[in-house]
Amino acid sequence: MVNGKRVFFKGVNRHEHNPKTGHTLIKEDMLKDMEMMKKLNVNAVRHSHYPPDPYWLELCDEYGLYVIEEANIESHGLGYDLEFTLANKKEWRNPHFERIKRMYEHGKNHPSIITWSLGNEAGNGINFYEAYDWLKKTDTRPVQYERAENDYNTDVLPPQYPHPDWVAAFGKNKDGRGLIMSEYAHIMGNSLGNFKDYWDAIESTPGVQGGYVWEWIDQSFDTVKNGKRIMAYGGDFPLEGPVDENLSDNDFCVKGVVTAYRGLTPMAIELKRVHQFIKTSLNEKDLKITNTYFFRDINNVKLDWEIVTNGKVVEKGTVIDLNLQPQQSKTITLPIKVKMDPTKEYFLNVSYKLKTAEPFLEKDYEIAANQFALSGSPAPFSQPVVSGNISETKAGDLLELKGKDFTISFDLKKGILNSYKLKGNELIENGPQPAFYRAPTDNDIGAQLNTSLREWRNAYEQNDVTNAQYEKADNGIYTINVNKNILNGQAQAQQTFTVYANGVIQVNNHFTINVAPKFRSLMRLGNDLQVNKKFNQIQWYGRGPWENYQDRIAAADVGVYSQPLSKQYFPYARPQESGNKTDVRWISLTDNKGKGLRVEFTDSLLSVAALPYNIDDLDPASTQTPVSFG
């Protein structure tokens, strides 16, 4: 409790890091940390796993962050068994006690510190019992220790990495101590899926008060190797000569909400939206606004709203004065006048912005936002009635179809569309062909999915067609059906191409797994498509503008977005999956003159990634670890 209130701790674990000077920070680094935490709706920090530079604590006092101050103790390499852990050996009493006492003396006069932590992952035993008892006699603030688990020497229960369902079930716990996760939502590379699920559980479960994301900043180093500037990590050292992999943990230190230079990542954007302190719900035209801050009003916040149809703003307005005290709600009726066409989609976008600047936040900075579907549903592709003639040429296993201005080639032996030309210009160089794999993320590699699922990487190309047929209907439409057995018959892939006289191709995919228990998950199920490299512009109607996935869409609103292809890949330190967009209605890939191709959904919304890299760039051999991406 803080001043009698059940505060939610929207926290991060902070290491001290600078990409040039390592753990030696200057004041500007610490000011930037504070700025980014304020911008991302972070209100709490755990000092993992040592007391910080005193200037940082002064900033926490001045600008307001809840702080867990932690002793510089960690010895989990020895395990937690009472027979082996240093926590239970009397001869290690002084090293434990002295570090905990130094932590206390270092931070005792800082009001931002609300909790003392005895250390991290160092077992439990008599040395921590004594230190806990001493702190409780010396100071009134709570003491926590994760490895105490349910033992007496922790005033809160601070578990690490529980499942969201476990958090939601905590309300049945009779322990009486609150739950505040000391580490959760392990951010490493392209990650932070299901973060909203955590906060749905936190805010709806009695006794749960939040947690501290692992971790705040990428601990990589800006350096040059082999003449190339990189953000280096374990596998990059030494910068010259062979790397001893036995002395490397690869990129396990690169897992931050922000980059090493404290820049935004796709996960930071998601975290900001989920953490936001202004909650909004919609009932027809009535907008319910709740100020979930515990100790501040939102009188310095205005509401901008807009109605968007098929990506275009058709109406907008502003509510200047919200005037909501802490923990209060109000309902306002938006003066929406637009008449909604039932054949179109309509969304309400709301944005809460500062009326005047606040520390680290400029005027009009957006502190919260939401999107609500108002009416309509996505309109799938509908092929108009067209007339015209398609001619065919068959030469061995190659089938060529020609219509007005277009030529399409199929390799029936390989079961692929291998060329699409419009007015002599190549649009498609290969595909779309079934694909069951993608570049693994850091967490995929940690779970060894890049090896256990690797047989799917080139499964379609490596198997022969079992049946390939084509026919021309009376209306001139061509249908090409291709069937393949995958992995010695353990699965089947069926693909149907319907070619219309205007050059439109409809692609249908059907996939069956015969040994389902063996393949409980796949990296991906979709199509790969290789297009003309001149298509360097992308426009889509779906979620964006940043990369998003089905379990990370809270901050990705539906709209029409245009970007260069070069901006689709986020430069993670280790090459990996990136750039996906979900709930895509249509996507176009064009050159600088606007000429190219367009893909639309037919039965279900699409997930699409368009990248200037292929799978071999992002995912080398399973025995080879990519060490940097310049």
Per the DSSP assignment, residues forming a β-bridge with 303 are 319, 352
Angle, CA 340 vertex, CA 336 and CA 344 arms, to 5°: 135
Neighbours of 574 (CB within 10 A): 24
Cα 472 from chain centroid? Answer: 45
List, as one string, the DSSP characters of 507-527.
Answer: EEEEEEES-TTT-S--S--EE
Residue 267 parent element (H or E): helix 266-275
Catalytic hit among 16, 69, 146, 183: 183
> In one letter, which amino acid is 280?
T
183 classed as catalytic: yes
Catalytic hit among 121, 315, 366, 461: 121
Whats the size of the chain, residue-wise? 630
> In one letter, which amino acid is 496?
T
Spatial contact of 68 and 141, defined as CB atoms under 8 Å apart: no
35 classed as catalytic: no
Spatial contact of 478 and 471, defined as CB atoms under 8 Å apart: yes
Pairing of strands 465-472, 478-486: antiparallel
- Residue recorded with tokens 């539906």: 558
Backbone angles phi, psi at 510, to 5 degrees: -135, 130
3-state secondary structure of 219: coil
Q: Hey, what are 130's tokens?
A: 């004594």
Neighbours of 163 (CB within 10 A): 13
Neighbours of 322 (CB within 10 A): 19
Q: Which of 199, 208, 204, 152 is CA-nearest to residue 179?
A: 208
> In one letter, which amino acid is 220?
S
Spatial contact of 402 and 391, defined as CB atoms under 8 Å apart: yes
Spatial contact of 480 and 467, defined as CB atoms under 8 Å apart: no
3-state secondary structure of 579: coil
Neighbours of 178 (CB within 10 A): 21
Residue 621 CA to residue 614 CA, distance in Å, equals 14
Residue 387 parent element (H or E): none
3-state secondary structure of 118: coil
Spatial contact of 428 and 515, defined as CB atoms under 8 Å apart: no
Instruction: Please give, one letter per residue, the 3-state secondary structure of 179-199.
Output: EEEEEECCCCCCCCCCHHHHH
The HSE-up count of residue 304 (CA atoms within 13 Å, CB side) is: 12
Pairing of strands 391-395, 398-403: antiparallel
The CA distances from residue 323 to 247, 283, 302, 332, 574, in Å, are 57, 21, 9, 12, 46
Q: What's the distance, Cα to Cα, between the start and end of the chain in Å?
A: 47
Q: Hey, what are 197's tokens?
A: 């699920």
Residue 498 CA to residue 105 CA, distance in Å, equals 75
Which residues participate in catalysis according to the annotation?
A: 121, 183
